[in-house]
Amino acid sequence: MNFNLSEEQLMIQQAARDFAQAELLPGVIERDEHSKFPTEQVKQMAELGFLGMMVDPKYGGSGLDSVSYVVAMEEIAKIDASAAVVMSVNNSLVCAGLEKYCNEEQKMKYLVPLAKGEVIGAFCLSEPEAGSDATSQKTTAIDKGDYYLLNGTKNWITNGGTASTYIVIAQTDVEKGHKGINAFIVEKGWEGFSIGPKEKKMGIRGSDTHSLMFSDVKVPKENRIGADGFGFNFAMAVLNGGRIGIASQALGIAQGAYELALKYAQERVAFKKPIIQHQAIAFKLADMATQITAARMLCYKAASEKDAGQDISHSGAMAKLFASETAMNTTIEAVQIHGGNGYVSEYHVERMMRDAKITQIYEGTSEIQRIVISRGLVK
């Protein structure tokens, strides 16, 4: 197996790195403190082709492979995890699902502007009583002939307030269980569709997280994705790919925290020598570097398998599980290495530690990933 990035992938990595350093870094602390959505920076990501990276160019995308997406995500997340999750949702959960499962008319109407970054999208699965348990949908979409009547609430929706296009998972036939679930494309501004206040979060404060309420929203029949009852399978397939995006975000957070800790350890002097020369600190950094490298290889493996058309439920879950735990462990140690300075915002690592926690929760908790992995062990 070749672990080296191609020339094109290296160029994408450098472009993402340059953008993150020049455009994301200067205001990242302020955006975190004020829970400010990175509006201008998201527009710039769209101009760079980062919001539809894997979409075919005929639908407005960049037509790149999944490994390119991983390396770009890592560079963005190293600096601003909030911007990275906007990129992840639009690519992995929205564009990927629309391109693979929508008909041509739906693609031209909805996928093209999303892939170009003219608008952004949101994926609406989670509910007050249906987070990781996608089979327990309380949101309903009742067939009324030429339209569905949508009612219910969705929680913790990334891009909830700024999106224009929403993929909503809802129960159409309760008696059929998960075979009675459908996926719908819903537009902002439709009558009966309202958006709740922005959530006050521990981390990724710049991202736009809201609850969404649907009260007798009329969804045209042509906005259903796939055949009747396909919604659960659609959601599971999309989430499998989405785990690669979150794993890449976690990888970036970990790498960013490690780089800051390494630099600080080389500059901070204690007991008449740089603290990196103290074995206690050096061993922490050694463990961090090893875990990050392993997480990166798992991300590349899952991405490569996705590009090869293989089942990524197992590899994606492994990448997401290990990368998210690596992000949490690495950021905690980065704060520790910084000592008192690690506890204040100007050194960035305290924010990274707060941002890292969500990677263990969304797209399925670490416990859910272990269930997926353990099921895959039995052939």
Could you give the CA distance from residue 165 to residue 10 in angstroms, rounded to a whole number? 32
Identify whether the C-beta of residue 53 lies closer than 8 Å to the C-beta of residue 91: yes
The pLDDT mean for the chain works out to: 95
Q: Do domains 7-120 and 122-231 have the same CATH topology?
A: no
**Closest alpha carbon to 52 in 125, 124, 113, 123:** 113
Could you give the CA distance from residue 354 to residue 373 in angstroms, rounded to a whole number? 26
Residue boundaries of the structural domains of the chain: 7-120, 122-231, 233-378
Residue 139, classed as helix, strand or coil, is coil
Phi and psi at 25, nearest 5°, equal: -65, -45
Helices within 272-379 (DSSP H only): 279-307, 313-338, 349-358, 366-377
What is the distance of C-alpha 174 from the center of its chain?
Answer: 30
Fold designation for 7-120: Butyryl-Coa Dehydrogenase, subunit A; domain 1 (1.10.540)
pLDDT-derived band at 1 (thresholds 50, 70, 90) equals low
Q: Which residues contact 251 (CB under 8 A, 6 or more apart)?
A: 70, 73, 74, 77, 292, 295, 296, 299, 323, 326, 327
State the average pLDDT over residues 353-375: 90
In the prediction, which pLDDT does 185 show? Answer: 98
In the prediction, which pLDDT does 129 show? Answer: 77
pTM for the full model?
Answer: 0.96
**Closest alpha carbon to 258 in 178, 356, 163:** 356
102: left (phi over 0), alpha (psi -120 to 50) or beta: beta
Residue 74 among the catalytic residues: no
**What is the CATH code of the structural domain delimited by 233-378?**
1.20.140.10
CB half-sphere exposure, 377, CA atoms < 13 A = 7
pLDDT-derived band at 363 (thresholds 50, 70, 90) equals confident
pLDDT-above-90 percentage for the chain: 90
Q: Which of 127, 199, 363, 367 is catalytic?
A: 363
Could you give the CA distance from residue 65 to residue 82 in angstroms, rounded to a whole number? 23
Q: Which 8-state DSSP code applies to residue 4? A: S
Residue 210 has pLDDT above 90, yes or no: yes
**Closest alpha carbon to 98 in 171, 166, 179:** 166
Residue 124 has pLDDT above 80, yes or no: yes
Residue 132 has pLDDT above 70, yes or no: no
Domain at 122-231, CATH class? mainly beta
Residue 368 has pLDDT above 90, yes or no: no
